């Protein structure tokens, strides 16, 4: 039967001050009115019933996950985050025990996809193919720009319409390389969405990452911190790329917001009361009532929450992590 694994363990540092340890990005309504994890669940519902969805999160976030997803039956709460390989290995074992014939989609909880219909078609076709073949499918997103922050996967021989053998993985290339990849037409973003049968995933873990596979049954904190890409995808010979020809945005930081909201005549994107004088190309995120007033500024991200305010140059939105890392040192 079809299952889904939704990975929701991120701490969302780059969305400070909206995201906090207990309320990270995936549990926030950042782009739509539903939280990102609610959107992830809604997108999968045409393919998988809620009763066969497994959310892997951490102990701090589990209560909020339960609140946001009433009716969810399977929550795995990691005692500590160990990157994606242990998290996925645990979920695969959990599902295989309940349904050895299972086929599953493994997806992040914190990416935004507008075209949910095309998404369901692609993932649906992948689930079907993964039910017949001993393969590990990764959804390769058609790149819309030479992003240097993503991993890429090169497609090889076509297997079926919309599916190719994977030729090689490349982690975060430099800009020149990324441009070549985009121009070549046979490189796609490795967006962290996987489809496989419980049997194929079990075999891959046992062969390429036996330490992780066995480790998750014991002391979770002692398991290697490793991504599923490094642990199995880059090593396995049976990896297939599905054509992810839908929009996809990992909403990596505050600057991503403006890709999803209407701008005013001055290029500003505002949520909540805002009044700007000589203000252009800013992103303004308030709560419902608090007013943000600006004079003579451009290209800023301004975020108000009840206990903290962020003012950040849009181009430096990634660096919000650095600020968050300093908070505990300063007792803030």
Range 76-111 burial, b when 16+ CB lie within 10 A, else e: bbbeeebbbbbbbbbbbbbbbeeeeebbbbbbbbbb
Question: Distance between alpha carbon 119 and the CA centroid of its chain, in Å?
Answer: 14
The three-state secondary structure class of 182 is helix
Binds a second copy by CB under 8 A, chosen from 218, 288, 296, 328: 296
Give the tokens for residue 321. Answer: 């992590």
Distance CA 158, CA 163 (A): 6
Binds a second copy by CB under 8 A, chosen from 157, 161, 277, 288: 277
Closer residue to a second copy, CB minimum distance, 70 or 296: 296
Does the protein bind a second copy through residue 319 (CB under 8 A)? yes
Does the protein bind a second copy through residue 322 (CB under 8 A)? yes
Does the protein bind a second copy through residue 307 (CB under 8 A)? yes
Closer residue to a second copy, CB minimum distance, 23 or 177: 23
x/- contact string, 9-28, with a second copy (CB under 8 A)? -------xx-----------
Distance CA 14, CA 26 (A): 12
Does the protein bind a second copy through residue 267 (CB under 8 A)? no
Binds a second copy by CB under 8 A, chosen from 165, 169, 273, 280: 273
Give the tokens for residue 130. Answer: 């993964």
Does the protein bind a second copy through residue 327 (CB under 8 A)? yes
Contacts of 298 (CB under 8 A, 6+ apart): 279, 280, 281, 282
Binds a second copy by CB under 8 A, chosen from 99, 281, 302, 328: 302
Give, in degrees to the nearest 5, the angle at Cα 94 between 77 and 8.
35
Closer residue to a second copy, CB minimum distance, 221 or 291: 291
Residues that bind a second copy (CB under 8 A): 16-17, 273, 275, 277-278, 289-297, 300, 302, 304, 307-313, 315-317, 319-320, 322-323, 326-327, 330, 332
């Amino acid at each position: 039967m079809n299952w889904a694994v939704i990975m929701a363990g991120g701490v969302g540092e780059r969305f400070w001050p909206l995201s906090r340890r207990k309320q990270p990005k995936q549990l926030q309504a950042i782009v739509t009115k539903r939280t990102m994890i609610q959107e992830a669940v809604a997108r999968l519902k045409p393919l998988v019933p809620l009763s066969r969805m497994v959310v892997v999160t951490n102990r701090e976030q589990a209560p909020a996950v339960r609140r946001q997803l009433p009716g969810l039956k399977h929550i795995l709460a990691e005692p500590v985050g160990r990157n994606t390989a242990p998290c996925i290995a645990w979920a695969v074992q959990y599902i295989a025990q309940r349904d050895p014939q299972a086929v599953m989609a493994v997806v992040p909880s914190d990416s935004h996809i507008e075209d949910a219909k095309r998404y369901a078609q692609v993932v649906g076709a992948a689930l079907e193919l993964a039910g017949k073949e001993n393969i590990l499918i990764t959804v390769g997103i058609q790149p819309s720009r030479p992003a240097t922050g993503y991993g890429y996967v090169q497609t090889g021989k076509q297997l079926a319409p919309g599916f190719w053998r994977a030729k090689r993985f490349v982690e975060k290339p430099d800009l020149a390389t990324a441009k070549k990849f985009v121009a070549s037409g046979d490189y796609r973003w490795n967006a962290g969405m996987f489809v496989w049968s419980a049997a194929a995933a079990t075999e891959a873990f046992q062969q390429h990452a036996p330490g992780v596979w066995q480790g998750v049954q014991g002391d979770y904190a002692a398991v290697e911190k490793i991504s599923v890409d490094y642990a199995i995808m880059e090593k396995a010979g049976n990896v297939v790329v599905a054509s992810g020809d839908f929009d996809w945005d990992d909403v990596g930081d505050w600057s991503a917001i403006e890709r999803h909201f209407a701008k005013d005549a001055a290029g500003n994107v505002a949520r909540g009361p805002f009044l700007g004088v000589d203000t252009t190309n800013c992103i303004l995120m308030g709560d419902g009532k608090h007013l943000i007033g600006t004079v003579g500024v451009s290209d800023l991200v301004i975020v108000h929450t009840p206990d903290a305010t962020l003012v950040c140059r849009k181009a430096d939105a990634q660096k919000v992590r650095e600020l968050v890392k300093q908070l505990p040192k300063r007792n803030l």
